[in-house]
Amino acid sequence: MNEFDLIEKYFNWNAQDLNSLGVGDDCALVSIKPDYQLATSVDTLIEGVHFPQNTSAADIAYKSLSVNLSDLAAMGATPKYFTLALTLPEFDELWLEEFSTSLKLLADQYKVDLLGGDTTKGKLSVTINVTGTVPKGQALLRSSAKVGDTIFISNTLGDAALAWNQLQQGVEPSQGLLEQFNTPKPQVALGQALLGVANACIDVSDGLKQDVSHILERSEVGVTINLADIPLSREVANYVQETNDWCLPLAGGDDYELCFSVPKENIDALKVIETELNIKLTKIGLATEQQGLKIEGLDKICQSYQHF
Ligand SMILES: [Mg+2]
């Protein structure tokens, strides 16, 4: 099978957005509504670096698209399109079938169209470029937190990191932890709901410690976080109690939750969002004039995920 047949067979899906022209021409064409901006982001996942060697094709596809959607969620953008660059060590029809089925399922769920891509031979890696739209001037930025804002985090932290930790030690993680590691749910609905409610937002991909610092630095504010306020699942709470390893939930990474700041006057609106989306939102601190991140009770330096 040549490259054109491969694309035709596995990646030529019908577009949901009829204002776009997808796979089959030299470029994809997209139209965009007036008064909207495009939000675009790219992420590469490499075998052995971002997912273990024995990860299923379905999980690789899911995570590759999901982590990109998470970046759109962080800006409050609505996912629209993506392109895919796939590098494969060999042509494997079963693998491709499983990969494209899983990718299409997630793409359909978030109504995001595959507009084109590229396939090459080499070490297994997946690059996805995702594009969404957001009303002009309303995107959630890292730089918009204000003194007095309350900082929140969605759901719990450390579940994926605990799964990874256990896998490396040859321990089979629980179903819940594995799902968080292999198929993290991008918080797209939350991001959209936060438009006009939150001031600043980021998705937690490299660990709360590092990612909340990006908000603090760009917004020129500070926060003091108490360890007791960090939302943990029962399993991660048990792990921390046994090991005192707070670095796992704070710097382990791969959470794909949203960390955001909300001004006092919007706290009631946030409570409505919490109920409507049936999501757990935890207050972890207040933005202060005194800059920098302080973590009360943390007695060691946690090494956050470093890409190099
Ligand atoms: Mg991000």
Asked whether residue 303 is assigned to any structural domain, the reply reads no
pTM: 0.94
Asked whether residue 302 is assigned to any structural domain, the reply reads no
User: Which CATH number characterizes residue 199's domain?
Assistant: 3.90.650.10
Rounded to a whole number of angstroms, the CA Rg of the chain reads: 20
Alpha carbon of 205 to ligand 1 centroid (Å): 6
How many structural domains are present in the chain? 2
Alpha carbon of 236 to ligand 1 centroid (Å): 23
The residue assigned the tokens 């709470």 is: 237
* Amino acid (1-letter code) at residue 300: K
Strand, helix or coil at 308? Answer: coil
110 and 153 belong to one structural domain? no
Alpha carbon of 305 to ligand 1 centroid (Å): 13
Q: What percent of the chain has pLDDT over 70?
A: 95
Alpha carbon of 74 to ligand 1 centroid (Å): 7
Q: Which pLDDT belongs to residue 12?
A: 80
Alpha carbon of 204 to ligand 1 centroid (Å): 7
pLDDT digits 0-9 by tens, 238-289: 999 999 999 999 999 999 999 999 999 999 999 999 999 999 999 999 999 9
219 and 129 belong to one structural domain? no
Domain that residue 25 falls in: 3-135
231 and 173 belong to one structural domain? yes
159 and 50 belong to one structural domain? no
Final residue belonging to a domain, choices 100, 120, 135: 135
Alpha carbon of 273 to ligand 1 centroid (Å): 22
Q: Which pLDDT belongs to residue 256?
A: 97
DSSP E strands in 47-175: the ranges are: 78-88, 113-121, 125-135, 150-154
pLDDT digits 0-9 by tens, 79-124: 999 999 999 999 899 999 999 999 999 999 999 999 888 889 999 9
56 and 147 belong to one structural domain? no
Alpha carbon of 238 to ligand 1 centroid (Å): 28
* CA-to-CA separations, 123 to 21, 47, 53, 153, 271, in angstroms, rounded: 30, 8, 11, 36, 46
Alpha carbon of 308 to ligand 1 centroid (Å): 17
